[in-house]
Structure 1
């Protein structure tokens, strides 16, 4: 079922003020790549909507939603609290996402955006009933980790992507979900999916031509100078591998609401900021002189305090 309007109860949940406060895994390298791909599509005026299968608490959805252009649709599909239809999927949901609720996702998303994306609550297999074929320019698959479901998600996204669309597969190499790896590389071998690049956690591919994207990506990486990369070959096709340890995160066009109802720009980060002696925080304003005098009188011996107070009284009566 779809529901673009939030339940009022979501407003009562605590709201994060930075992306780092939202539970989930969205590392610097992938934030940089999401930002790069989406900006490139915008600069080239490539049409299409955004799609995410599997939202958890909304961390990557919040990031994607900030890059949705006017007139575009952002669809998020997730089971949330709904029961899964098979025992193995239910077992995975119970083990990995016991605290997941739609209300928590909505509260987190609304902390940074004025309105929710289009939400499809249910198995990712129903997403093709709600998203038009050939309408999506960027899709993020992070739903079930079971091979059968991931394989189905990949085939569904292939129908939904535009000719130049990009798909991102999460956990394509994680040891706890080999089904994702099997489905990802099977799609490369048998379903026409062409790799663009990989990070430690995500696979980026397309059913279009990856070479222009790879060349532009390598040029961008070299220009930055803070991202390590190499080009490997899989079945004679190039594949860019990169790591962004120590790289600066992208400037996030993510906003949150202030208590007064206005909007204040924030710079969320995947990690909490560390204290640094080289960059001290803003210095607190100095107290007024009258405040300093009061503090001084509090700590002076009583005999001296009485003498100061008496002297002030005599000065005022003159």
Structure 2
């Protein structure tokens, strides 16, 4: 949980509460949901313990997903500027351009719709994270903060310091045309600090400073069982790397919102069948009784006042 200095933002009007995972705004494709699930589950199966860390959270979509894999005794830390001012002019311009509606309260409302308590929140530039998280304590780090080269370079250095020997780091937007700084920082780390890519998707790279070959072989075995994702192996920087096309990927089971049951609760129960049948039967009977009392008087009046030919026609119509 967060420290008193990092307590929840001031309350105001109540924010919308998502009733489904898909209601949470953000960019987290099904193929990457599947890979997050695979890596985090693989770590559990292999007995790899450690904390979880996300740098850059937006509205909390991937954080909600990652938080579902936190085990007893592990800590999940999320670092984001949220409402705080950016540390420099270039970062401030990026925040205004891309995340002008971002607030910490929105993140908290979304996260608490799926989990009973918040992760540890660090509302600050990601440059402080090395002083907030223990060295060598994290088994999974997701980097999706600034797109500026100097900031991503710093996030990579922090991830290398904070990860366990077999830990996994995931980079978002490492190949997007509007984020050349991310690409430069990530591939620079592959070339200079022995970062080992395991696989890539259309938006994310999964890598480690540990034994990439062992993880890659196990991942390939799983990919062979999938019919909704294409994969191939490329030679990059002297080592194999899996390339995955997941445009047809089917998303795994999502965390369930705590508000889902309320949103799908049935409306007021209908009246018992017996009462409904009785009401239906009584209504026509009453109307029939009224018509029955009035009909003979109407027919008598017609016979007394109108010519016989017209009388017979009207009587047939009444009948």
Per the normalisation by structure 2, the TM-score is 0.82
Question: For residues 1-318 of structure 1, what are the structure 2 equivalents within 5 Å?
Answer: 2=3, 5-7=7-9, 9=11, 12-257=14-259, 288=273, 291=276, 306-307=287-288
Matched-pair contact (CA < 8 Å) for 1:10–1:107: no
Between the aligned partners of 1:131 and 1:13, the Cα distance in structure 2 is: 30
Between the aligned partners of 1:294 and 1:145, the Cα distance in structure 2 is: 68
Between the aligned partners of 2:209 and 2:13, the Cα distance in structure 1 is: 40
SS in 2 for 1:155: helix
Gaps of at least 5 residues in structure 1 are: 265-283, 312-318
Between the aligned partners of 2:154 and 2:242, the Cα distance in structure 1 is: 26
Alpha-carbon offset, residue 36 of structure 1: 0.3
Shift in alpha-carbon separation, 1:230–1:8, aligned structure 2, 3 A: same
Between the aligned partners of 1:220 and 1:188, the Cα distance in structure 2 is: 25
Shift in alpha-carbon separation, 1:147–1:287, aligned structure 2, 3 A: farther
Q: Please identify the structure whose Cα radius of gyration is greater.
A: 2
Gaps of at least 5 residues in structure 2 are: 264-268, 293-319
Matched-pair contact (CA < 8 Å) for 1:48–1:136: yes
Equivalent in the alignment of 2:297: none
CA deviation vs aligned residue, 1:84-117 (integer Å, no higher than 9, x gap) = 1210000000110000000110010001000000
Between the aligned partners of 2:12 and 2:35, the Cα distance in structure 1 is: 30
Shift in alpha-carbon separation, 1:253–1:19, aligned structure 2, 3 A: closer
CA deviation vs aligned residue, 1:131-177 (integer Å, no higher than 9, x gap) = 00000000000000000000110011100000000000000011111
Equivalent in the alignment of 2:313: none
CA deviation vs aligned residue, 1:49-87 (integer Å, no higher than 9, x gap) = 000000000000000001100110000000001001210
Shift in alpha-carbon separation, 1:8–1:191, aligned structure 2, 3 A: same
Matched-pair contact (CA < 8 Å) for 1:5–1:116: no
CA deviation vs aligned residue, 1:235-256 (integer Å, no higher than 9, x gap) = 2210101122333211234452
Between the aligned partners of 1:186 and 1:15, the Cα distance in structure 2 is: 41
Between the aligned partners of 2:19 and 2:244, the Cα distance in structure 1 is: 30
Alpha-carbon offset, residue 45 of structure 1: 1.1
SS in 1 for 2:225: helix
Matched-pair contact (CA < 8 Å) for 2:80–2:122: yes
Higher helix content, 1 or 2: 2
Alpha-carbon offset, residue 7 of structure 1: 4.3
Shift in alpha-carbon separation, 1:107–1:77, aligned structure 2, 3 A: same
Between the aligned partners of 1:292 and 1:62, the Cα distance in structure 2 is: 49
Shift in alpha-carbon separation, 1:207–1:290, aligned structure 2, 3 A: same
RMSD: 2.9
